[in-house]
């Protein structure tokens, strides 16, 4: 069993945070922590707005030295397997960064992937995946649902009111999205596989469909929103859709739509990843910050 390093801070209880990589959510998080009196050292954020990130270290060793907590992005890795650092002018090797992190710090990052998780374990790092925390995923789902409404309004030629919308999947995002679309007057259908989920879907006022047997009824929808990270709409199902349907995929890789087939069929298919970072970076940053602080309080034995 790993022996966790329990921090004991004196005085005001402020801490040193190393903030490494990430998008505007992480930038806003860093600014909030600094405004609360914590010491912030950043790396791989050299292109972040100067009014929010006042200085950025040139090396990860410098930024992470004596840090109580290291905050990494959500997700930790980009699509090519490097550190997710869209606000850096350089490419960064995530494994090399992990090797430079202090073993005395709590390392907080989101969705690191199995390989990087194993690297952290081999190095003896106290790594916590904050995307496994319920307080984060619940509020992140809310921000994603609201962001989806913006994508829908921006890309659909019709109102949400009186439109026919299918949501694929009844997880956290699916539930919050269905509630909001119903409130705006949409005719909402939700597809799921479990009998219990389908009962709750009907009880919420939506039409329940079985994801496994979606067929000809797909033609009736104006918008289809996927939340399931598995190929649900293959070419065969895409061919059943009307040509002016709007497809919005919220799922992580591999996504729920065959985008190549959708393009060939002339369908408007959008892969809307990381919506909270795009539409509500301040709120999304606050959610991550509060989750990290909960983790640190637990490490201190305060909660």
Secondary structure in 3-state letters for 32-97: HHHHCCCEEEEECCCCCCCCCCCCCCCCHHHHHCCCCEEECCCCCECCCCCECCCCCCCCCCHHHH
Residue 190 CA from chain centroid, whole number: 22
Q: So what's the pLDDT on residue 20?
A: 98
Q: So what's the pLDDT on residue 4?
A: 29
Residue 65 CA to residue 16 CA, distance in Å, equals 9
- Residue 26 domain-assigned? yes
CATH code of 256's domain = 3.40.50.720
Same-domain pairing of 81 and 203: no
Domain count, the chain: 2
Same-domain pairing of 142 and 261: yes
Q: Hey, how many other C-beta atoms are within 10 angstroms of the C-beta on 16?
A: 19
Same-domain pairing of 210 and 285: no
Same-domain pairing of 98 and 193: no
Same-domain pairing of 45 and 74: yes
Q: Hey, how many other C-beta atoms are within 10 angstroms of the C-beta on 79?
A: 9
Q: How many residues does the chain have?
A: 303
Could you tell me the two tokens for 143?
Answer: 């921000």
Assign 3-state DSSP to the chain and report helix, strand, coil percentages, each to 5: 40, 15, 40
Instruction: Please compute, for residue 115, the number of CA atoms within 13 A of its CA located in the half-sphere on the CB side.
Output: 6
Q: So what's the pLDDT on residue 67?
A: 96
Q: Which domain holds residue 82?
A: 16-132+281-300
For residue 182, give the nearest of 208, 163, 197, 158 by alpha carbon.
Answer: 163
- Residue 212 domain-assigned? yes
Peptide bond just before 97 cis, omega within 30 deg:
no
Same-domain pairing of 209 and 254: yes
Residue 47 CA to residue 166 CA, distance in Å, equals 39
Q: Hey, how many other C-beta atoms are within 10 angstroms of the C-beta on 150?
A: 14
Instruction: Please compute, for residue 143, the number of CA atoms within 13 A of its CA located in the half-sphere on the CB side.
Output: 23
Same-domain pairing of 100 and 153: no
Task: Encode the chain (303 residues) as per-residue pLDDT tens digits.
Answer: 333 233 333 334 899 999 999 999 999 999 999 999 999 999 999 999 999 998 888 889 888 999 999 999 999 999 899 999 999 999 999 999 999 999 999 999 999 999 999 999 999 999 999 999 999 999 999 999 999 999 999 999 999 999 999 999 999 999 999 999 999 999 999 999 999 999 999 999 999 999 999 999 999 999 999 999 999 999 999 999 999 999 999 998 889 999 999 999 999 999 999 999 999 999 999 999 999 999 999 998 887
Peptide bond just before 193 cis, omega within 30 deg:
no
Same-domain pairing of 144 and 113: no
- Residue 229 domain-assigned? yes
Same-domain pairing of 44 and 142: no
**Residue with tokens 């090519």, as numbered in its chain:** 80
CB 166 within 8 A of CB 281: no
Same-domain pairing of 59 and 108: yes
CB 18 within 8 A of CB 10: no
Same-domain pairing of 238 and 267: yes
- Residue 100 domain-assigned? yes
- Residue 1 domain-assigned? no
Q: So what's the pLDDT on residue 3?
A: 34
- Residue 8 domain-assigned? no
Q: Hey, how many other C-beta atoms are within 10 angstroms of the C-beta on 255?
A: 20
- Residue 6 domain-assigned? no
**Residue with tokens 């892969």, as numbered in its chain:** 271
- Residue 154 domain-assigned? yes
CB 243 within 8 A of CB 267: yes
Model pTM greater than 0.85?
yes
From the CA atom positions of the chain, what is the Rg in Å?
21
Same-domain pairing of 202 and 292: no
């Amino acid at each position: 069993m790993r022996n966790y390093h329990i921090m004991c801070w004196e005085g005001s209880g402020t801490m040193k945070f190393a903030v490494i990589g990430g998008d505007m959510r992480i930038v806003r998080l860093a600014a909030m922590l600094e405004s609360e009196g914590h010491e912030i050292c950043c790396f791989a954020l050299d292109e972040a707005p100067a009014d929010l990130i006042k200085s950025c270290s040139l090396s990860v060793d410098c930024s992470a030295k004596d840090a109580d907590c290291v905050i990494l992005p959500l997700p930790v890795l980009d699509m090519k397997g490097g550190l997710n650092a869209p606000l850096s002018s350089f490419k960064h090797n995530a494994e090399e960064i992990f090797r430079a992190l202090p073993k005395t710090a709590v390392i907080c990052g989101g969705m690191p992937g199995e390989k990087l998780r194993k690297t952290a374990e081999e190095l003896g790092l106290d790594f916590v995946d904050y995307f496994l925390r319920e307080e984060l995923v619940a509020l992140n789902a809310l921000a994603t649902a609201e962001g989806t409404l913006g994508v829908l309004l921006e890309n659909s030629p019709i109102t949400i009111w009186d439109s026919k919308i299918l949501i694929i999947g009844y997880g956290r995002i699916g539930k919050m999205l269905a509630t909001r679309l119903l409130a705006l007057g949409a005719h909402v259908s939700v597809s799921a596989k479990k009998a219990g989920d389908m009962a709750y879907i009907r009880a919420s006022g939506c039409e329940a469909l079985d994801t496994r047997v979606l067929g000809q009824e797909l033609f009736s929808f104006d918008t289809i929103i996927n939340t399931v990270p598995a190929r649900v709409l293959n070419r065969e199902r895409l061919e059943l859709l009307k040509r002016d349907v709007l497809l919005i995929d919220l799922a992580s890789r591999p996504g729920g739509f065959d985008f190549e087939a959708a393009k060939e069929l002339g369908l408007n298919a959008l892969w809307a990843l990381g919506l909270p970072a795009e539409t509500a970076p301040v709120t999304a940053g606050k959610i991550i910050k509060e989750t990290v602080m909960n983790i640190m309080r637990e490490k201190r034995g305060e909660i």
